[in-house]
Every structure is written in C-alpha cells, then in structure tokens.
C-alpha cells in the first residue's frame, strides 16, 4: 500500500484552520480522515443526548466536505488508543496527526497513543487548535495558574497575538483503497422512539459552512450592539458560536481575527477569554466536573434531595417564570441564553439547595454546546466553589432578573406563555418561597465559612 497519513478528527470537525490536516497535506501523501467514537476509555465522559445529535450531523457534514475535495472520513468506535492503531495498521499509514485536547482523561489517551505509535515507527504529532493560548503558556509571576479572570486575561493579551487562521484546503488527496468504516446511521446517535430532536432541527444547522455563515452574520449585524444587548435573552444579540466552538466547526483563531477585522469587539473577545479561562482551569484541575475547586465547599450541608424539586426544575415547572422559560428553551433547543443559565443554575443551587453537580449533569445531557471545561467551570462559578466565582451569598432573585433583563416579558412569553399578563388562567404557584429558601441557603453557607 502506498504510504498515507491519518488525521484523527476529534473536537475539530472542520477543514479551515485545522493544523493537523495541514500537517498531513504537507506530506504530499494520501490523507485519511478518522473519527473514533470512544465511549470506553477510562474517564472519557460519554456524550449527552443533545451532543450526540449534533455530532451526527456535524460528522455527516465533514464527511461530505472531505469527499468533495477528494478525501474521506473513516468512522470507527471503541477505545481510541486501540482503534487508531488498528486504523494505522489497516491503512499502512506512516503518520497520524491530531489537534490537542486539554481534559485529563483525554490527555492521557493521547499521550499513551503518541508513545505507542512512535515505538511502532509511526510519526505522531499534535497541534494547538482549540484554544488561543495553551494552558502552560499563561502563568502568574510566581509561575502558577491564575485563579482570577481579569489578571489572567491581561496576561493572555500581553502574549503574542493568536496566530492567523490557516486557509481551507481546496484538495485533499484520498487513499486509493479505502479502509473499513462504520456507517454513521448505525451509531444510533440520533434519538428515536421518541424523536425529541424536532426543536434542535428547527434551531440549528450543524457543520462548518453554517458555522462560518453565522459568524459572518453576527459580526455584520450584532457585534456593534453586543455590549448593550448581550444580557437580554429576547434580543438574539449573541453569536451562538458556543456549539460551533464545542465541536470545532470554527476555530477560536478564526473568530478572533474576524472579530478584530470587523472592528474590535473588546467585550466579545473577553467572552472568548472566559472560554480560555475555563479550559486552563480544567487543565490544572482535571476533576472539575466532580470536585469543588475550593475544598471548603466540601463542608456544604446539601439537604436530602427532593426528587420532585429536581424534576420540576428539569421540566421547567418551578412556578418561577424566568426559570421555567429557560429550562424549556434548553429542553426544546439544546441551548439557553447565558443570563438565564446563570439564573436557572442559581435557583437550583441556592433556592432548591440541590448540589451543583446534579444541574451540571442535566446541562451536560441537554446542551448542544456542553463541554468538559465550560459546563463544570460555569456551574462551579455560580455555586461559588469555582475559580473567580460569584460569591455564594450573591443569590440571584429570578423575579428581579426578569424585570431587568426581560423588561417587556418577551422571552418569558415565548417559552412560558402561561406567565403572560394576559394569560387566561392564574400563573402556576412557585414550588418554594424565594425569601425563605434564600435564608436557608445563607445559613447552610455559614458552615462553609466556618470550614474555611
Ligand atoms: P456569546 O455571548 O456570543 O459569547 C461568545 C463565546 O464566548 C461563546 O460562544 C463562548 O465560547 C464564550 N463564552 C461566553 N460566555 C462564556 C462563559 N460564561 N464561560 C465560558 N465561555 C463563555 N458554555 C459552553 O460553551 N459550554 C457549556 O457547557 C456551558 N455551560 C454553562 C453552564 C452554566 C451554568 C453557565 C452559567 C454558562 C455556561 N456556558 C457554557 C457559558 C455561556 O452560557 C455560553 O458559552 C453562551 O451562552 C453561549 O452563547 P453564545 O455563543 O451566543 O455566546
């Protein structure tokens, strides 16, 4: 078999600005794209339902784009360490390239594989593609990781600017004889019986071309007003780049450079900075989804779980308008506006007194943008147990939040119409009293303070 290179696609389902793909093309050998559905390696978190839906469509799009240019995408499932080496053997490949991941379990898989491939005489190389600044390049004066965002972002901005994005390759020479591939449809990533994905289909078009279109549209129409309108869930003023970044359909470098060219966007760029901060935090605290970053929070006396409260929250039936609207937006579309994510998370943790990990798990299953850094990072931020977190005692009042950020009630009217002023029936009763539960949360927090 003539030599070929494998590009192992993971969270980078794109052709443009893909350094691993570029490295393979630079070898002037046939290129085989590979995606491995790994639900077996230790510590790799199985994808949630909404993520599986997105992945299916994004892989279909990537496959079509590779084919248009002469390449192909091979699909296999199992432990990545074993599966990639099998694909190398089947193809007689002499090199494997991938873009780096920063979660603890993922790094372990990748490091072991790199070692094994090299022992077998196969070239293996990895590249930076999903963050603007790699975690080990941003350090405090004392050489440690930043625990506060503002100095972290200042330090990032003092580094050389993120590299310019690489152009999209026009041709991708494929291998003459194909190696065996699973059929995407056989992976069962799409829901059926019931098919709950109607709202996702209506809201989203996964894949690189749609991601690039949406970026252009946002920069043209909304970047100017972003600072002002980004906190209003009814305004539709944010970029909706989060699932595209999650799946790597567009790189942060592309977003960065196009936003700068479009006229700046300091506030928008600093939101990308929060994403960087979350990934860096995960790199230094691989147990972010399960362990309080601030250990004194281990003393928090979570009361015995009331399952009916958790279900009411998940289904958007809490009797609190903004919370219910947000939870239904999430369930129907796989997305929720950031302001409402903060309010619904705060309500779960500080009014229902339910452990943040329960909420994180629900978001993990239902968000199309759920990732191993940003989701737990933000949940810990709201809980007060995380990096540069909102202090625990700052408890959002969901009614005041609604008055401030949804002053005309448009968002609530859309997602939870029973709360409209002109609704025919009285609105549902709250499942808890906001004032009483707030006091109970503050009492419980006293124990954390005593432990610190
Ligand atoms: P924009 O306002 O257009 O922001 C641009 C980009 O900046 C986003 O796409 C995102 O990559 C980044 N960004 C913005 N806000 C944040 C933030 N607070 N933290 C980290 N990055 C940010 N974001 C995820 O990508 N995945 C998650 O799993 C996730 N879980 C969250 C859970 C909770 C409880 C909370 C409060 C927030 C969570 N976020 C998560 C952050 C944020 O809500 C989303 O990134 C944002 O709503 C995405 O919409 P957008 O792309 O239109 O954002």
Give the pLDDT confidence of 330-364 residue by residue, as tens digits.
999 999 999 999 999 999 999 999 999 999 999 99
**pLDDT band for position 265 (cuts 50, 70, 90):** confident
| pLDDT tens-digit readout, 156-165 | 999 999 999 9
Residue 288 beta carbon below 6 angstroms from any ligand 1 atom = no
Mean pLDDT computed over every residue of the chain = 96
DSSP state of 416: -
- The answer to whether 203 touches 335, Cβ cutoff 8 Å, is yes
Q: Which atom of ligand 1 is nearest to the CA of 342?
A: 36
Mean pLDDT of 58-71: 97
Catalytically annotated residue among 8, 379, 381, 415: 379
- The answer to whether 124 touches 113, Cβ cutoff 8 Å, is yes
Residue 172 beta carbon below 6 angstroms from any ligand 1 atom = no
Residue 365 beta carbon below 6 angstroms from any ligand 1 atom = no
**Residue 153 annotated among the catalytic residues of the structure:** no
- Pick the residue whose CA is nearest to atom 21 on ligand 1: 275
Percent of the chain with pLDDT over 90: 93
Query: What's the pLDDT score for residue 211?
Result: 98
Query: What's the pLDDT score for residue 65?
Result: 97
Other Cβ atoms within 10 Å of 307 Cβ, number: 8
- Pick the residue whose CA is nearest to atom 42 on ligand 1: 338
Residue 382 beta carbon below 6 angstroms from any ligand 1 atom = yes
Distance 375 CA to ligand 1 centre (A): 8
pLDDT at 271 over 90: yes
**pLDDT band for position 423 (cuts 50, 70, 90):** confident
Query: What's the pLDDT score for residue 390?
Result: 80
Residue 128 beta carbon below 6 angstroms from any ligand 1 atom = no
- Pick the residue whose CA is nearest to atom 22 on ligand 1: 275
Query: What's the pLDDT score for residue 393?
Result: 86
What residues contact residue 221 under an 8 Å CB cut-off, 6+ apart?
A: none
Mean pLDDT of 60-84: 97
Q: Which of 338, 346, 357, 384 to mutate to test the pocket of ligand 1 (most atoms within 8 A of CB)?
A: 338
Query: What's the pLDDT score for residue 176?
Result: 75
Mean pLDDT of 194-212: 98
Residue 378 beta carbon below 6 angstroms from any ligand 1 atom = yes
Cα separation, 211 vs 221, in Å, equals 15
Residue of 289, 413, 225, 437 whose CA lies nearest to 349: 437
Q: Which residues of 374-409 are buried (b: 16+ CB within 10 A; e: fewer)?
A: bbbbbbbbbbbbbbbbeebeebbbbeebbeebbeeb
**Residue 274 annotated among the catalytic residues of the structure:** yes
Q: Which atom of ligand 1 is nearest to the CA of 243?
A: 25
pLDDT at 3 over 90: no
pLDDT at 177 over 90: no
Query: What's the pLDDT score for residue 392?
Result: 86
- Pick the residue whose CA is nearest to atom 4 on ligand 1: 271
Query: What's the pLDDT score for residue 264?
Result: 75
Mean pLDDT of 219-239: 96
Residue 245 beta carbon below 6 angstroms from any ligand 1 atom = yes
Beta-bridge mates of residue 37:
77
**pLDDT band for position 420 (cuts 50, 70, 90):** very high
Q: What is the pTM of this model?
A: 0.98
Residue 336 beta carbon below 6 angstroms from any ligand 1 atom = no
Give rounded-to-5 percent helix, strand, coil for the chain. 50, 5, 45
Locate tokens 């933000």: which residue?
Answer: 378
Cα separation, 281 vs 181, in Å, equals 36
**pLDDT band for position 126 (cuts 50, 70, 90):** very high
Distance 370 CA to ligand 1 centre (A): 9
| pLDDT tens-digit readout, 360-403 | 999 999 999 999 999 999 999 999 999 888 888 889 999 999 99
Task: Please give the C-alpha separations between residue 141 and each of 155, 162, 285, in angstroms, as whole numbers.
Answer: 10, 21, 20
What residues contact residue 65 under an 8 Å CB cut-off, 6+ apart?
A: 15, 207, 208, 209
Task: Please give the C-alpha separations between residue 446 and each of 333, 393, 442, in angstroms, as whole numbers.
Answer: 38, 10, 6
Q: Left (φ > 0), alpha (ψ -120 to 50) or beta: where does 263 sit?
A: left
DSSP state of 177: S
pLDDT at 93 over 80: yes
Mean pLDDT of 264-291: 96
- The answer to whether 128 touches 137, Cβ cutoff 8 Å, is no
pLDDT at 435 over 80: yes
**Residue 247 annotated among the catalytic residues of the structure:** no
Residue 374 beta carbon below 6 angstroms from any ligand 1 atom = yes
Other Cβ atoms within 10 Å of 435 Cβ, number: 10
Query: What's the pLDDT score for residue 47?
Result: 98
Query: What's the pLDDT score for residue 403?
Result: 97
Dihedral, 66, 68, 71, 73 alpha carbons, nearest 10: 40
- Cis check for the bond before 200: say yes or no (omega within 30 of 0): no
**Residue 415 annotated among the catalytic residues of the structure:** no
Catalytically annotated residue among 302, 410, 436, 446: 302
**Residue 338 annotated among the catalytic residues of the structure:** yes
Query: What's the pLDDT score for residue 37?
Result: 98
* The two three-digit tokens of residue 171, written as one number: 């041709």
Query: What's the pLDDT score for residue 306?
Result: 95
Residue 166 beta carbon below 6 angstroms from any ligand 1 atom = no
Catalytically annotated residue among 204, 356, 362, 415: 356
Q: Which residues of 279-305 are buried (b: 16+ CB within 10 A; e: fewer)?
A: bbbbbbbbebbebbbbeebeebeeeee
Distance 171 CA to ligand 1 centre (A): 34
Residue 345 beta carbon below 6 angstroms from any ligand 1 atom = yes
**pLDDT band for position 219 (cuts 50, 70, 90):** very high
What residues contact residue 327 under an 8 Å CB cut-off, 6+ apart?
A: 313, 314, 315, 316, 318, 336, 344
pLDDT at 2 over 80: no
**pLDDT band for position 451 (cuts 50, 70, 90):** confident
Residue 390 beta carbon below 6 angstroms from any ligand 1 atom = no
Percent of the chain with pLDDT over 70: 100
Query: What's the pLDDT score for residue 7?
Result: 98
Distance 271 CA to ligand 1 centre (A): 8
* The two three-digit tokens of residue 335, written as one number: 């997305």
């Amino acid at each position: 078999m003539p030599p070929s290179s494998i590009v192992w696609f993971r969270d980078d389902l794109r052709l443009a600005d893909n350094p691993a793909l570029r490295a393979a093309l630079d070898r002037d050998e046939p290129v085989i794209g590979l995606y491995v559905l790994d639900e077996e390696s230790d510590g790799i978190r199985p994808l949630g339902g909404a993520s599986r839906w997105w992945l299916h469509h994004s892989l279909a799009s990537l496959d079509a784009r590779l084919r248009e240019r002469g390449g192909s995408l091979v699909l296999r499932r199992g432990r990545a360490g074993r599966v990639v080496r099998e694909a190398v053997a089947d193809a007689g490949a002499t090199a494997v390239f991938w873009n780096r991941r920063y979660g603890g379990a993922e790094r372990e898989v990748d490091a072991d594989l790199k070692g094994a491939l090299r022992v077998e005489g196969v070239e293996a190389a990895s590249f930076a593609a999903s963050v603007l600044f790699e975690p080990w390049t941003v350090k405090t004066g004392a050489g440690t990781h930043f625990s506060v965002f503002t100095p972290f972002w200042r330090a990032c901005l003092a580094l050389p600017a993120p590299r310019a994005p690489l152009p999209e390759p026009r041709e991708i020479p494929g291998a003459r004889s194909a190696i065996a591939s699973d059929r995407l449809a056989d992976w069962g990533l799409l829901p059926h019986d019931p098919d709950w994905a109607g709202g996702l289909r209506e809201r989203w078009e996964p894949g690189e071309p749609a991601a690039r279109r949406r970026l252009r549209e946002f920069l043209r129409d909304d970047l100017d007003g972003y600072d002002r309108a980004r906190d209003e869930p009814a305004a539709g003023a944010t970029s909706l780049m989060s699932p595209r970044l999650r799946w790597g359909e567009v790189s942060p470098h592309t977003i960065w450079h196009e936003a700068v060219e479009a006229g700046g966007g300091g506030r928008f760029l600093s939101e990308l900075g929060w994403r960087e901060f979350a990934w860096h935090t995960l790199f230094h605290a691989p147990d972010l989804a399960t362990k309080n970053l601030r250990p004194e929070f281990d003393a928090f006396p979570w009361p015995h779980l009331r399952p009916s409260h958790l279900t009411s929250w998940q289904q958007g039936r809490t009797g609190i308008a903004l919370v219910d609207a947000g939870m239904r937006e999430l369930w129907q579309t796989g997305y929720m506006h950031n302001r409402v994510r903060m309010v619904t998370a705060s309500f779960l943790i500080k009014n229902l007194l339910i452990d943040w990990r329960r909420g994180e798990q629900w978001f993990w299953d239902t968000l199309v943008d759920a990732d191993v850094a940003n989701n737990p990072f933000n949940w810990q931020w709201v809980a007060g147990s995380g990096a540069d977190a909102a202090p625990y005692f700052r408890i959002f009042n969901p009614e005041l939040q609604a008055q401030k950020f949804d002053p005309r009630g448009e968002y609530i009217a859309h997602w939870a119409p029973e709360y409209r002023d002109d609704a025919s029936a009285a609105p549902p009763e709250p499942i808890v009293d906001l004032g009483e539960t707030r006091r109970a949360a503050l009492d419980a927090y006293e124990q954390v303070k005593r432990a610190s």
